Chains A and B, each alone.
Chain A
């Protein structure tokens, strides 16, 4: 599956008078993990929803393998999206959800055997963290070329965060999926990413190294929140 490419170009979006994205560009290639870094309200979720196709914005141009693709989510098997909030209907069971998405439950149960006896239980009866874990696995393990993960590590306990980080890397490396992830846990998200986009003032800047990231963020409080030393 590697070799595929999904791009969004000239993305513009505003809520009222507040400009969120101004001529933003982002690209994901098959087999790589790309992090989106930015403060709350900087436009990470907006960019993801525009790239997924559920948010129109003021203007955007999306290309899939160099061909125009205005609504990628309507193209079968191209892209899957994990929103910030629980999105699997509460009355469905994990087993039904995996069946709908055409995902095999066995690899999931090998990694998380604690769910084996609860696959028929309604999603609404799982805790927030358990539900998040099921939803991440559902999106990552289903057959598609690109996965957009909006705050995948939110609500997960550290042990599960490590396993999900490994799963993200494996799905990119061995499954050939292109993965775009935005999360405020910068250590986890940057630790598994091949490169990153920094969102600031409506614009998007690509960085491919820690030094480049530091240059973008050193005057910005989010860098301090990562806990990573500034490479001066």
Chain B
């Protein structure tokens, strides 16, 4: 039997890019903006993650029996994925806040 982590990776594959891109973008915004941006970014992340989960849930509805056959319920699929995504978001935000800002592109004017 395949280790559960591979099954979770198979489950996440279609929508992982969207979640990672979102986290990366918000990390970049936090890095540029620094103080006072945490709160709105956190809410933005929560709301967009819920949207991604809702859309993925609708699209993947027919696939749940595949995972149920492996003893993984819908809740046991989604909860670790959401927790891992939020943990990654927290790490990215912490790194972005603690890293000194460097202007990547010089002003053209």
Contacts and interface: CB of A to CB of B under 8 A. Distances in A.
A124 to B, nearest CB: 11
Contacts of B65: 52, 54, 81, 83, 87
A81 B68 contact: yes
A91 interface: yes
A76 B13 contact: no
A220 interface: no
B71 A74 contact: yes
A73 interface: yes
A74 B73 contact: yes
Contacts of B40: none
Contact of A85 (B6, B13, B62, B69): B62
Contact of B69 (A86, A91, A99, A101): A101
Which secondary structure dominates where chain A touches chain B?
loop
Contacts of A52: 65, 68
Interface residues of B, number: 19
Contacts, number: 56
Contacts of A83: 62, 65
A96 interface: yes
Interface in B57-100: 60, 62-66, 68-71, 73
Contacts of A71: 73
B71 A75 contact: yes
Interface of A: 52-54, 71, 73-76, 80-81, 83, 85-89, 91-92, 96-97, 99-102, 139, 142
Nearest 4 pairs of A and B residues by beta carbon: A102-B1, A87-B65, A100-B2, A73-B68
30 contacts: A52-B65, A53-B68, A54-B65, A54-B68, A71-B73, A73-B69, A73-B71, A73-B73, A74-B71, A75-B71, A83-B65, A85-B62, A86-B62, A87-B63, A88-B63, A88-B66, A89-B10, A89-B11, A89-B63, A89-B66, A92-B10, A96-B10, A97-B66, A99-B2, A100-B1, A100-B2, A100-B70, A101-B1, A101-B70, A142-B69
